[in-house]
Amino acid sequence: MKISKKLCLLCLALSLVFLCSNPATAKALSISINNEIESTTENTENNIDTAVEVFNSGTQTLYLTRSDIDLMAKLIYAESRGEPFEGKVAVASVVLNRVVDPKFPSTVTDVIFQSKAFSCVQNGDIKAFPDEICYSAVYEAIRGTDPTNEAVFFYNPTISTCSWMKSTEKKDSKSIGHHLFFKC
């Protein structure tokens, strides 16, 4: 059962009111908690995208929003449709690895929409309809599963038309499904 933040705050407020013997203290606590509830309600009503997941890379902590997760699931669907589950997790891992790498943009959105980063991005959009498996792969990567050896690049050597991908020296490469994951 999921308990809302408002309900938790309300229960806490009521508990504190009963514990406080001084009526002035109880009133002050009530006002403070009501302000927090109003602020939370306002943020929810204004659809502010707040962090819903946390990814710890060892060196950095990323706070991921619902939009980040949805965008990663779309990318996984578009880039790894037909690949094994491990390959889908690997694509999500590449995104997370790029976000924590100082050579790349520092947000999921900026990594995915970086010019020429992913072939499925066309005119600032990804035409994809991710399924539950795509979302499961995102969450698996967020939990720390990285089958890529911390790769920041991947491609399908059989169908790729990118000469840079084919000719660049690859470090710590690993094949998963039809993709090759690597660092430079």
Given a contact cutoff of 8 angstroms between Cβ atoms, the answer to whether 138 and 166 are in contact is: no
38 plus 70 within the same structural domain: no
13 plus 82 within the same structural domain: no
Of 30-34, 61-65, 74-78, the range with the lowest mean pLDDT is 30-34
**Number of domains the chain is built from:** 2
What mean pLDDT is reported for the chain? 74
On whether the pTM is more than 0.75, the answer is no
147 plus 166 within the same structural domain: yes
DSSP secondary structure code for residue 167 in this structure: H
40 plus 60 within the same structural domain: no
152 plus 84 within the same structural domain: yes
* pLDDT exceeds 70 at position 44: no
The CATH number assigned to the domain holding 111 equals 1.10.10.2520
Per DSSP bridges, beta strands 171-176 and 153-155 are unpaired
28 plus 105 within the same structural domain: no
**Structural domain span for residue 21:** 5-45
| pLDDT at site 3 | 47
* pLDDT exceeds 60 at position 57: yes
Three-state SS at 15: helix
Question: Rounded mean pLDDT of 90-106?
Answer: 93
| Percent of the chain topping pLDDT 70 | 64
The CA distance from 156 to 75, in Å, is 15
The CA distance from 180 to 184, in Å, is 13
